[in-house]
Structure 1
Amino acid sequence: MISVTTIGFTKSNARNFFERIRSAGVRKVVDVRLHNTSQLSGFAKSDDLSYFLKSILDINYVHTPLLAPEDEMLKAYKRDGGDWRAYELKFMDLMAKRKIEDRLKPGMFDHACLLCSEDTPHHCHRRLVCEYLNSKWDRVLSVKHL
């Protein structure tokens, strides 16, 4: 089994965010946001986050937009108040079209933490990424949402 976690940064202060990552034994943060320069949280902008992760926790940071929804899809759900189930189906279809299971290897997720903005995984694509990959990789990922 490959241990992978997910985390969102909204509704969290820096101390709580970094402590959750430290406690989980994360070695790499995989940013699955389409736009990683978000102003939602000062510590979560890509350059700052990469610096803080390396300086505070000695953790690597990688932005992986391959695992993000397309801009129009995201806007239709977020900005226009779209239906979660419709968004979920579109995103699952997008991952299938991108063939992410062939373009990525399970080992890249070992002790990794998928990062997005949503505070919980319930209505967030980071959970869908894990579920999709697990369905393609014979449930090799052991997922914990922080």
Structure 2
Amino acid sequence: MTVFDIGSSGKSAETFFNTLKTSGVKKLIDIRLNNTSQLSGFTKKNDFKFFLKEIIDVEYEHILDFAPTKDILDDFKNKKINWQQYENKYIKLLDDRKIKEKYKDYNFNNCCFLCSEVKNTNCHRRLLKEYLFNSNDNKISL
């Protein structure tokens, strides 16, 4: 199984869509808490779904279950918690939401998790992949 991840910030629409197109992604799973952000204008909710389908024939799904809470995000942004504390809180949130059980039959093959961070190093999309798959085989970052 191949599962990708990508951040939308810092990329032009051309680079973003070409990267997805050449990777073989079949479905993009938006894991942002707020999918109406202006950080990358082409990634706004319904417009984004349209662009993905029309430009590169990729399905779109927004799964809020995979997003951190506003409190966790705000605490990290405001430096009330460090990255390790963020990781712990996010993993606990996934456990509390029973993510592994709820999505055990979901077909993630050739899916791509999207958030806004440029790199996945300090990003919940990396944590989500590690949480769901516990395998280096699924750590393909675009």
- With the shorter chain as reference, the TM-score category is over 0.9
Aligned residue in 2 for 1:25: 24
Aligned to 1:4: 3
Match of 1:60 in 2: 59
Q: Structure 1: any 5+ residue segments left out of the alignment? A: none
Percent identity between matched residues is 40
Q: Which residue of 2 aligns with 1:46?
A: 45
TM-superposed CA distance for 1:96, in Å, is 1.1
Q: Aligned to 2:138, which of 124, 142, 145?
A: 142
2:97 is aligned to: 98
C-alpha distance in 1, partners of 2:55/2:104?
28
How far the C-alpha of 1:30 sits from its partner, in A, is: 0.2
Local SS of the residue matching 2:107: helix
Counterpart of 2:82 in structure 1 is 83
Equivalent residue letter for 2:139: V
Structure 2 unaligned spans of 5+? none
1:48-85 deviation digits (Å, cap 9, x = unpaired): 1101000001111000000000111111112x123111
> Could you list the per-position Cα deviations for residues 1-55 of structure 1 after superposition, in whole angstroms to 9, with x for gaps in the alignment?
x111000010111011011101110000000001110110110111111010000
Distance 1:37 1:101 in 2: 27
- Separation in structure 2 between the aligned mates of residue 104 and residue 32 of structure 1, nearest angstrom: 14
Give yes or no for contact 1:130–1:141 (8 Å, CA) kept in 2.
Answer: no
Amino acid at match of 2:141: H
Contact 2:129 2:138 in 1 (8 A): no
Instruction: Please provide the CA RMSD for this pair.
Output: 1.4
Q: Which moved more, 1:22-31 or 1:97-106?
A: 97-106
TM-score with structure 2 setting the length: 0.94
